[in-house]
């Protein structure tokens, strides 16, 4: 298995099984949790997120927490969670953001399957069990994602109907409809699929996860599980951020063009209007490049 990059990790702290890793206790699933904890509210979110992991009915997992230079010590929170038998905390040398933090977690993962959980999101108890069952039934699929419930003080800012997502959405479907996985917290993916796409692209200011799912779809099917097994928290600490829409437009357009060159003829025709819209949007994004969400 891979290992964390020495450029991003300066300390590793293991819990459970005395930190011993052998083939006998190698987990099937690695849960990767990127963390930046700097307030009482963040501490509460992290505690609730880890409690939702500890409450999973499926038990063959490890937890890899990637601490992105949090101002607060998260160790007491981790110590206080019952039911987490195998936990590793990776501590970044410098703040590298959520995409690279997830990448560090994937590199350190021992499981064949990766489940991402943002530290302010939650899982229902059967999330891992239900998604593993779907992947077992679809051996050709690289990834499964479930529906999500939005909650929190700003839940009304996002109203996405996931009911019409097909069982196996195509590359074109995602390009036409946007990131209907909503959050990486909805995903269970084969580790090799992440390695094949060279992990998340941290050049994005946002939607690096959307970029990853599109790249996965270029190689293998993706399955939608129409069950609400995860909760996406919208709050004041995640709605105030800047998005460089021009930068992200350029990166996504380049990816779509890359797919277009190898796409079936019918999909090439269908994608052309979408590509045209991407280019037309550049003029607007050049003027209003940064999007700011406010309370």
Residues 6+ apart with CB under 8 A from 116: 31, 32, 33, 102, 184, 185, 187
Say whether both 99 and 197 belong to one domain.
yes
Interior CA angle at 131 toward 32 and 196, to 5°?
A: 55
Residues 6+ apart with CB under 8 A from 34: 66, 68, 98, 101, 102, 105, 118, 119
Cβ burial of 280 (10 Å; 0-12, 13-18, 19+) is exposed
Q: Where are the beta strands (DSSP E) in 212-284?
A: 222-233, 242-244
Q: Report the pLDDT value the prediction gives residue 288, as an integer from 0 to 100.
A: 66
Say whether both 90 and 168 belong to one domain.
yes
Say whether both 156 and 28 belong to one domain.
yes
28 falls within a domain: yes
Say whether both 213 and 165 belong to one domain.
yes
Q: What is the pTM of this model?
A: 0.88
Say whether both 140 and 200 belong to one domain.
yes
155 falls within a domain: yes
Q: Report the pLDDT value the prediction gives residue 124, as an integer from 0 to 100.
A: 98
CB 144 within 8 A of CB 227: no
Say whether both 173 and 255 belong to one domain.
no
3 falls within a domain: no
Could you give the CA distance from residue 73 to residue 62 in angstroms, rounded to a whole number? 21
Say whether both 151 and 255 belong to one domain.
no
Say whether both 158 and 250 belong to one domain.
no
Q: Which domain, by its residues, includes 252? A: 243-292
How many domains are there within the chain?
A: 2
Please, how many CA atoms are within 13 Å of residue 178, restricted to the half-sphere of its CB? 6
86 falls within a domain: yes
Say whether both 250 and 235 belong to one domain.
no
End residue of a domain, out of 223, 239, 255: 239
| Per-residue tens of pLDDT for the chain, all 295 residues | 444 444 444 455 554 433 333 334 799 999 999 999 988 988 999 999 999 999 999 999 999 999 999 999 999 999 999 999 899 999 999 999 989 999 999 999 999 999 999 998 999 999 999 999 999 999 999 999 999 998 766 656 667 778 899 999 999 999 999 888 888 999 999 999 999 999 999 999 888 999 999 999 999 999 999 999 999 987 665 543 567 888 888 999 999 999 999 999 999 999 999 898 888 877 767 666 655 544 4
Looking up residue 33, the CATH number of its domain turns out to be 3.90.550.10
Q: Of the candidates 183, 221, 61, which has an alpha carbon nearest to the alpha carbon of residue 132? A: 61
Strand partners, 33: 65
CB-CB neighbours of 265 under 10 Å: 7
Q: Report the pLDDT value the prediction gives residue 133, as an integer from 0 to 100.
A: 98
Sign of the torsion angle spanned by Cα atoms 38, 41, 44, 50? negative
79 falls within a domain: yes
Could you give the CA distance from residue 210 to residue 181 in angstroms, rounded to a whole number? 8
171 falls within a domain: yes
2 falls within a domain: no
Q: Report the pLDDT value the prediction gives residue 277, as an integer from 0 to 100.
A: 85
Say whether both 194 and 60 belong to one domain.
yes
1 falls within a domain: no
Say whether both 285 and 189 belong to one domain.
no
Say whether both 64 and 162 belong to one domain.
yes
Q: Of the candidates 113, 125, 53, which has an alpha carbon nearest to the alpha carbon of residue 83? A: 53
């Amino acid at each position: 298995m891979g290992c964390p990059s020495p450029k991003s990790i300066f300390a590793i702290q293991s819990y459970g099984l005395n930190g011993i890793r052998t083939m006998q206790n190698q987990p099937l699933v690695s849960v990767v949790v990127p963390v930046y904890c700097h307030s009482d509210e963040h501490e509460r979110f992290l505690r609730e997120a880890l409690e939702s992991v500890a409450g999973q009915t499926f038990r063959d997992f490890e937890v890899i927490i990637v601490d992105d230079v949090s101002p607060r010590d998260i160790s007491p929170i981790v110590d206080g969670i019952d039911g987490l038998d195998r936990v590793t905390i990776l501590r970044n040398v410098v703040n590298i953001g959520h995409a690279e933090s997830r990448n560090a977690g994937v590199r350190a993962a021992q499981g064949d399957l990766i489940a991402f959980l943002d530290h302010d999101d939650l899982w229902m108890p059967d999330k891992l069990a239900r998604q593993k069952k779907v992947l077992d039934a679809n051996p050709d699929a690289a990834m499964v994602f479930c529906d999500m419930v939005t909650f929190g003080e700003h839940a009304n800012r996002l109203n996405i109907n996931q009911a019409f997502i097909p069982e196996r959405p195509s590359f074109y479907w995602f390009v036409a409809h946007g990131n209907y996985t909503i959050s990486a917290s909805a995903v269970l993916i084969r580790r090799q699929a992440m390695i094949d796409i060279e992990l998340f692209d941290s050049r994005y200011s946002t939607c690096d996860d959307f970029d990853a799912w599109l790249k996965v779809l270029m190689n293998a099917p993706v399955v939608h599980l129409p069950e609400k097994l995860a909760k996406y928290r919208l709050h004041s600490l995640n709605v105030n951020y800047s998005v460089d829409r021009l930068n992200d437009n350029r990166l996504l357009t380049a990816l779509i063009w890359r797919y277009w060159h190898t796409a079936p003829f019918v999909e090439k025709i269908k994608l052309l209007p979408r590509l045209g819209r991407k280019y037309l949007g550049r003029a607007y994004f050049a003027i209003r490049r940064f999007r700011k969400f406010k309370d």
